[in-house]
Amino acid sequence: MKEYHFDRISVICREPASGTDLSAYTVKKAGEPLRFHRSLPCYSETPLHSMKSLAEETGVGTVLVKDESPRFGLKAFKGLGGSYCMFRILCERFGLDYAAADYSDFLREDIRKACGGITFVTATDGNHGKGVSWAAKMFGCKARVFMPKGTVEARRRAIEEAGSATAEITEWNYDRTVRYAASLAEKNGWILIQDTAWDGYEQVPAWIIEGYLTLAEEIAGQMNGMFPTHIFLQAGVGSMAGGIEGYFINRCGDRPPLVTVVEPEAAACIYRSALAGDGRAHSVTGDPVTIMAGLNCGTPCSTVWPVLRDCSAYFCACRDDVTETGMRAYANPAGTDPAVVSGESGAVTYGLVQVILRSEELRKLFRIGRDSVILVISTEGDTDPEGYKRITGKK
Ligand SMILES: Cc1ncc(COP(=O)(O)O)c(C=O)c1O
């Protein structure tokens, strides 16, 4: 393992290990959430853009961008996890076989009535809570959502507007807010639907991560037999990154992609854990400040930590201006490339790719060349419209 420091980024470079259990992220597994999501009236596949002009200009094979801004009208991918997890919890509660059931079963009058008595609770930086609020409304349930201090009011309001939740901003950081939501679930008999795992709380986050696999299945279908050589995945707790990484390592077989886990410098808990090199996940404590609100998490998700630790080739901690670069590059694309509306937590991987492609030294370090097939996910749209306008100059 080697660590490098550059102007705007720090990079850990290592040889991925083999032998990690990836059975939770197979192509077969990914078919289950996709089948459920397809049964939702508002489902449609999000676009996978090929940035041909950027690839041509920078001399690489292909740059692909999965654009999650239109997902379910929520401006972020997160609703995939919350909705699938809620489906699995409710199937269990009502004795439905999840492998045969779909959303239409929840339109039955008796089930709908019983759903009205169920309350879900969660902590969120924004997008997960919005997904939970939306999914709760869809299933006819209630939801309570708690957010860390410093959350912008627009994100809180967006959660309430998205569905049936009431949302509150607490006085604490993200990790402490998660503990608060867990304590309320225990006290009130509510169901905790949290998108990160810890010892003793594994099933719910596992279903949320499974829900994210719809995203991976869609990408694989849209790539039409092509395999990515490089995947850049942004991480908060790492649930999304770990799930998608596990899926593509499985899917690509003996041609595994080089995966980079990308975090904000201030809250780089996965980077710090990799650097510690003792195999364990470590937390970033205190009150980290970053404009990448969705990535501002202090503790890696225990379920996916082994995947991130063993399968990733690079870990990258980025200054906030890297995501600003990404947001502007998406908003002002090269040549005939499509414009993508991408928020602070959505654009950091594209910003990093821009930084890498324009430096010979970094291209070499990341082993990027003429045949590289680079995949990034723009995980959110302008979830903070004011911030988006300030950074890109666009509405
Ligand atoms: C837009 C966006 N991208 C990425 C992430 C990271 O997901 P995870 O916390 O699973 O690492 C989040 C998390 O909230 C997010 O909101």
Structurally, the chain folds into a number of domains equal to 2
Say yes or no: 304 and 353 in one domain. yes
Same-domain pairing of 71 and 116:
no
β-pairing, 9-13 vs 2-5, is: antiparallel
- Taking the C-alpha atoms of residue 212 and residue 77, their distance in angstroms, rounded to an integer, is 8
105 and 238 both lie in a single domain: no
Q: Are 385 and 395 in contact (CB under 8 A)?
A: yes
Question: What pLDDT score was predicted for residue 293?
Answer: 93
Mutate to test the pocket of ligand 1, among 85, 159, 295, 352 (most ligand atoms within 8 A of CB): 295
Q: Amino acid identity, residue 208?
A: I
Contact 323, 266 (CB under 8 A): no
Q: Are residues 72 and 85 in the same domain?
A: no
Phi, psi torsion values for 212, nearest 5 degrees: -65, -20
CA atoms within 13 A on the CB side of 267: 27
Q: What tokens were used for 16? A: 């991925």
d(CA 175, CA 352): 27
Ligand 1 neighbourhood includes 142 CB (under 6 angstroms): no
pLDDT at res. 18: 86
Percent of the chain with pLDDT over 70: 100
CA-nearest residue for atom 15, ligand 1, is: 294
Q: Which atom of ligand 1 is nearest to the CA of 297?
A: 9
Rounded to a whole number, what is the distance in angstroms from the first to the last CA of the chain? 43
CATH classification at residue 46: 3.40.50.1100
How are beta strands 191-192 and 230-234 bridged, if at all?
unpaired
Question: What is the domain extent for residue 318?
Answer: 2-77+213-392
User: What is the CA(295)–ligand 1 centre distance, in A?
Assistant: 6
Indicate the residue among 162, 194, 226 that finishes a domain. 194
Span 170-191, average pLDDT: 96
pLDDT tens sequence across 335-390: 999 999 999 999 999 999 999 999 999 999 999 999 999 999 999 999 999 999 99
State how far the Cα of 304 lies from the Cα of 209, in Å rounded to an integer.
9
DSSP SS3 for 119: strand
Predicted local confidence at residue 395, as pLDDT? 84
Q: Give the pLDDT mean for 299-325.
A: 97
For residues 235 and 270, the answer to whether their CB atoms sit within 8 Å is yes
Confidence of residue 77 (pLDDT cuts 50, 70, 90): very high
Burial of 67 (0-12, 13-18, 19+ CB in 10 A): buried
Q: Is 125 a catalytic residue?
A: yes
- Write down the pLDDT at residue 220: 98
pLDDT at 208 over 90: yes
The pLDDT, as a whole number, for residue 142 is: 98
Q: Retrieve residue 360's tokens.
A: 């010979």
**Average pLDDT for 14-34:** 96
Q: Please list the alpha-helical segments (H only) found in the chain.
A: 27-38, 52-58, 79-93, 109-115, 127-139, 153-162, 174-188, 203-223, 239-252, 269-276, 305-311, 320-331, 348-357, 360-365, 385-392
Residues forming beta bridges with residue 316, ordered by sequence position: 11, 262
Per the prediction, the chain carries an average pLDDT of 97
- 169 — pLDDT class (breaks 50, 70, 90): very high
The answer to whether the beta carbons of residues 115 and 139 sit under 8 Å apart is yes
Same domain, 263 and 372: yes
Confidence of residue 300 (pLDDT cuts 50, 70, 90): very high
163 lines ligand 1 (CB under 6 A): no
Q: Is residue 206 part of a domain?
A: no
- The mean pLDDT value for 148-156 works out to 91
Amino acid 48: pLDDT? 98
Under 8 Å between Cβ of 330 and 341: yes
What is the pLDDT averaged over residues 195-222?
Answer: 97
Angle, vertex CA 27, rays to CA 22 and CA 30, nearest 5 = 95
- Report CA(142)–ligand 1 centroid distance (Å): 23
Active-site position among 125, 175, 382, 384: 125
- List 314's β-bridge partners, or say none: 13, 260
Ligand 1 centroid vs 253 CA: distance in angstroms?
26
Residue 200: band (very low, low, confident or very high) from pLDDT cuts 50, 70, 90: very high
- Is the pTM of the predicted complex or chain greater than 0.95? yes
363 occurs within a structural domain: yes
pLDDT tens digits, residue range 120-136? 999 998 899 999 999 99
Strands 62-67, 48-50: pairing is: antiparallel
The answer to whether position 138 is within a domain reads yes
CA within 13 Å, CB half, 140: 16
Helix 27-38 / helix 239-252 crossing angle, nearest 10 deg:
120
Residue in 76, 69, 80, 71 with CA at minimum distance from that of residue 44: 71
Shared domain check, 220 and 181: no
How confident is the model over 240-280, as pLDDT tens digits? 999 999 999 999 999 999 999 999 999 999 999 999 999 99
Residue where one domain finishes, among candidates 136, 162, 194: 194
The span from the CA of 297 to the CA of 283, in Å, is 9
Q: 207 lies in a domain? A: no
pLDDT band at 325 (very low <50, low <70, confident <90, very high): very high
Does 229 lie in the same domain as 329? yes
Which of 127, 208, 244, 349, when mutated, tests ligand 1's pocket best, judged by the most ligand atoms within 8 Å of its CB? 127
